[in-house]
Structure 1
Amino acid sequence: MFVRLITPNVQAYSGVMYPKENDMTAQALAAVALTAALAPALAAPVVEYRTLDVDGIQVFYREAGNPNAPTVLLLHGFPSSSQMYAGLIDALADQYHLIAPDYPGAGHTQIGKDVAFKPTFDNLTRVMTRFVELKGLNRFALYMQDFGGPVGLRMASQHPEWISALVVQNANAYDAGLSDEIRHNISSTAAGLNAQTRPALEGITSAEGVQFMYRTGLRQPQRVGPEGWTTALWGLQNPANREIQMRLIADYHTNLALYPAWQAYLRERQPPTLVVWGKNDPLFTAAGALAYGKDVKQAEIHLLDTGHFALDEETPAIAAHMRRFLAGLPAGK
């Protein structure tokens, strides 16, 4: 960082400002100014890690920022958790109120022993909807990635009054965005988790399958640490979580049937929409990003040179786009 201090009786040398030796007032002023200039960069955001009882499910979530600032609800994808948003939360917490929950079967969320949770996208949506209600959120921007798309678009179409804006990151809502790979996965597992489909589902949730999703399409893979996919694999080591994730993959075909309804919501409501999409995604193609522009007339679309988990390489760029795009949001919940 280069900070140019402008104080009286200060002389410059090689791009750095020095006070004259005998002027302690200027030196003190320079020190105060430097501290003030560096304070925002040095002050780390305070992130709180909490749980909320949602009908017997202990939903783990990360929260940061001033609750009176515009709220952004961050919905994660498969096989990730709220951990995927750690860097984005750090980047935006000075200006926004950010909340990132873990779904049942992901991250640190725990399902009570007496709770009968059937892993479907409808039920994921019910849990997240109840989470929003219990948190007292009534107006927020919605960030959706991967599984976050089916959950978030169900929520948005059912409660359009909640949504101040959409941020879409590799969250598909169009047939055009489905790659051959994911079309095959959807069709081969649509019968549900059984003896015939289990091998394919176990392959998708294996170490190789998880690394395929995280690493394919990266621009500079040598600069992306393994924390994302290793944390995802840690979550899948829990047999109950892995079973839930496999059943959710098998339920994914139900989302395709809702594409027309979600597209109608977008056309009719015209929510402010920012699309930041890893264009090298092997699952959801760039055509899926561009398709949002057909229904949301003022949609802002950015194709980024990265893969499915675009935040692994593009957190600074995505954060910058969000700051500019969300600048007009009203304050408060």
Structure 2
Amino acid sequence: MNRLPLVRHASIDIDGVEVHYRESVPDRADAPILLLLHGFPTASHQFARLIDALGADHRLIAPDYPGFGQTTAPAGFTYSFDRLADIVEGFVDRLGLQRFAMYLFDFGAPVGLRLAERRPELVTGLVVQNGNAYTDGLSDAARGFIALAPEQAGAEGQIRDLLTLEGTRFQYETGAQQPERLSPDNWTLDQHYLDLPGRKEAQVALAFDYKSNEERYDGWQAWLRKHTPPTLIVWGTGDPFFTEAGARAYLRDLPEAELHLFDAGHFALETHLGEIAPLIAEFMERQR
């Protein structure tokens, strides 16, 4: 049978935020590192099966952002994508990570690309899974959601509708052609965290701040052209938010990137782990 890795769970204080994370302890001390940056509305637990699949040969590290999973932030914490990136940058420095690839999924793309802009010397490569950085990849639904503003009547209500169990389950099931591969535990656990005190307020703030990401797309694309990181793109084409065009758009700036499309939804890793994990393993071995 395949070797299963030792997986550690721990917390570390970053500027008053108790950042929970999980990481594999690989067999080799020189194993390449992959920083796993999760999306909305989930947390590091979304990578548990990937860590089991690859963690014996690679060091996989997955933190929970403030407002997600097991991480706890102090009262008065400002929820914005800049602040999420601040905490992840502090986390990377506290762990002493000097060279690593990043897995960018959903919210992980704007968080990770902010970190890449600030600290390009750290980044050895990118694995992009339904993590958008191009206006091409925004569906009509995504564009409408991003355009919501606090002063707009009914805007907060639209956001909160997505923070219900029905909204969370919708994100997993929409576009998934093999729904029997989806564990109901996923959206049940995500909803548990969303229902904790203060979590919905955090998500409303991040939703209103999402337009700050679109405003930075040109800069991130320029960063990709300048630094040309080795990149693996794996994408669920049934994603209701980030369309296939967003995956293909990366090739304009990274023509050497490796692109694989799957008949899956937003959470492609949940239904296609068996196909995606070997691609990541091969990609990481090339990063040694």
Give the TM-score normalised by the residue count of structure 1.
0.83
Match for residue 122 of structure 1? 82
Match of 2:50 in 1: 88
Which residue number in structure 2 is paired with residue 326 of structure 1? Answer: 284
Task: After TM superposition, list the pairs within 5 Å mapping 1:154-303 onto structure 2.
Answer: 154-187=114-147, 189=148, 191-192=149-150, 196-303=154-261
Q: Give the distance between the partners of 1:90 and 1:280, measured in 2 at CA.
A: 26
Query: 5+ residue gaps in structure 1?
Result: 1-37
Amino acid at match of 1:294: R
Deviations along 1:264-288, one digit per CA (max 9) or x if unpaired, are 0001110000000001101000000
Question: Which residue type is aligned with residue 143 of structure 1?
Answer: Y
Q: Name 1:65's counterpart in structure 2.
A: 25
- C-alpha offsets along residues 274-305 of structure 1, whole Å, 9 cap, x if unaligned? 00000110100000000000101211111111
RMSD: 1.3
Q: Percent identity?
A: 45
Residue 112 of structure 1 aligns to a residue in which SS?
coil
Q: Is the 8 A contact 1:76 1:82 kept in 2?
A: yes
Q: Deviations for 1:177-208, whole angstroms, at most 9, x for unmatched residues?
A: 00001111111x2x238864221111111112
CA contact (8 A) 2:4 2:55 kept: no
Provide Cα deviations, 1:193-242, integer angstroms capped at 9, x if missing partner.
88642211111111121111111011211232111111110111113111
Aligned to 1:311: 269
May I ask how many residue pairs the two structures share in their alignment?
A: 286
Q: 1:247 is paired with a residue of what secondary structure?
A: helix
Q: Is the 8 A contact 1:146 1:170 kept in 2?
A: yes
SS in 2 for 1:111: coil
For residue 275 of structure 1, what is the amino acid of its counterpart? I
Deviation at 1:94, TM superposition (A): 1.4
Separation in structure 1 between the aligned mates of residue 38 and residue 271 of structure 2, nearest angstrom: 16
1:135 aligns with 2:92: no
Q: What amino acid sits opposite 1:315 in the alignment?
A: L
Partner of 2:124, secondary structure, is strand
Out of 43-52 and 229-238, give the one that drifted further. 43-52
8 Å CA contact retained: 1:53, 1:59: yes
Distance of 2:201 and 2:30 partners within structure 1:
39
Alignment check: 8 A CA contact 2:6 2:56 kept? no
- Runs of 4 or more above 6 Å deviation: none
Distance in 1 (CA, whole Å) between partners of 2:197 and 2:52 is 31
- One-letter code aligned to 1:277: W
1:33 maps to none
Amino acid at match of 1:174: Y
TM-score (norm 2): 0.96
**How many Å separate the matches in 1 of 2:4 and 2:135?**
42
Partner SS for 2:198: helix
Partners of 2:191 and 2:166 in 1: CA distance:
10
- Letter of the aligned partner of 1:255 in structure 2? N
